[in-house]
Structure 1
Amino acid sequence: MGFAQLRTRITQPATGILEQLDLRAPAFESRIREVLEAAEDRLRDCLRGAPAPAVRTAGAGDERLRLLLGLFGAEFGEPWRQGVVEAALVAELVHLSTVRSATVAGADWLLARSAQLAARLGPDVLRLSARTAGRLTAAQLRALAGPVPGEDLVTHYVEATAGGDAALAAMALGMGALQAGAPARYVHALTVCGERIGVALRIAEDRRAPAGAVPAARRRTAALAEELMHERLDGARAAVGVLPSIPARRAIYAVCDAVAARTP
């Protein structure tokens, strides 16, 4: 199945996560929806010429959380700056490359496309993108190798399985802020917040995964990490608590609440 047959799957914004957030700011939410629509159009353009697995993965109803985090991060700078939507798309494309349904060909294509976008946004964004790709690879290798004798299972789980999600969420929030020209201390705080949200999200997703969807050992380890999940979410809230009290900060708090609500 080619692009022409699949393009309709991504003509509408996948705003599933946005529907779950208690933003308490109607004007802000309306503006974010408009930007998400523009981002979906840009994503469709990015996927022209993509192999079918890449298009299928992008149009499979993903909630676009990393894209949304990128847009939230940009709010702490100048969100109207050129390249902000593209920076958020870099994070989303890297995430999509890790989705199981992408296949090797699709994953490689999505990673290459994200690198092309990042290169156009300047050296800082490109470095962050490359660093994230390196972390994803390291996490995958750790997961394949398994825990070493005597290693705590939860520690290994956080570094390997959840490490990739941490890198992606940190990249999304940090890259959005970076491209929007936010102060360096804001970028740092948002990156730390993303790290913690990513770990908590992976734990929450694995805990509620149906039998057979993830390896049984991984699901059991995630169940042991419930307390850690809440600690990471508290840490995420604390990290952005020092930032200006704008609707985007409330939105990040709402993301934390939505992750906490993802329980079996």
Structure 2
Amino acid sequence: MKQNKTKLSKFLYFIFFIMLFTFNGCVSYRHSVNVSSYSTNENIGRKYFLQVSEKKLKDKTITLQVQEFEKYIDIVLAQRGYIKVDNIKNADQYIVFDYDISAPQTRTYSYEEPVYDTVLRPYTRYKKIDGVYYPYTHWEREYEVVGYRTRVGTRTFYSKNIYINSFNRTKTKNIWQISGNITDGNGDLRYAFPYLVKGISGYIGTNSRQIINVIVPDDDLEVQMMKKGEISTSAVAK
């Protein structure tokens, strides 16, 4: 009887881990964006001229990348009532953006790993002799955890950042600024950028007064539509 209980217990553990694996597979990965914003709260109009930082503007090898990233920023600005102009003379705000990704950062960590081995376990069985049941000890080998050992592992992280600064048209006064950061094991800035933009979008033109953590699901609908270019921005004002 005890042997049957042991087998049942193992089966239930197996079912539990299968369900746990299935559940985790259905949970969307979440991007953690740290956001910090400042603003003078001045109302100077919403027409803007957007440009990447001077260093990236001069680098002709990343022109297409800059254009793609600029598109995402235009989308969230349009959603917040900003109107893009193609001439700074017609703008109320001169907005400059920049971005970067760190070199790989390796971190070590320790964890406890279970040690498995076979262990002899006694079980009571019964043998029928002349109509009488007599107990006897039956030994079986069980494969189970017999201890734990400390292991040391390494993980590689990348820090991805976005910076946006808004000035008046003459570039003499900073109106608002915002920054966002994602730190994870993915070294693809192009993949992370729309999540960065979505993470900071709710704090554009505001003063967060502290670092705010914004969670953006990997399957966020707005991000997916941004990537496909299915969210239209406002028409460029002339």
Normalising by structure 2, what TM-score? 0.29
Normalising by structure 1, what TM-score? 0.27
More strand by share: 2
More helix by share: 1
Larger relative contact order, structure 1 or 2 (CA cutoff 8 Å, min sep 6):
2
Structure with higher Rg: it is 2
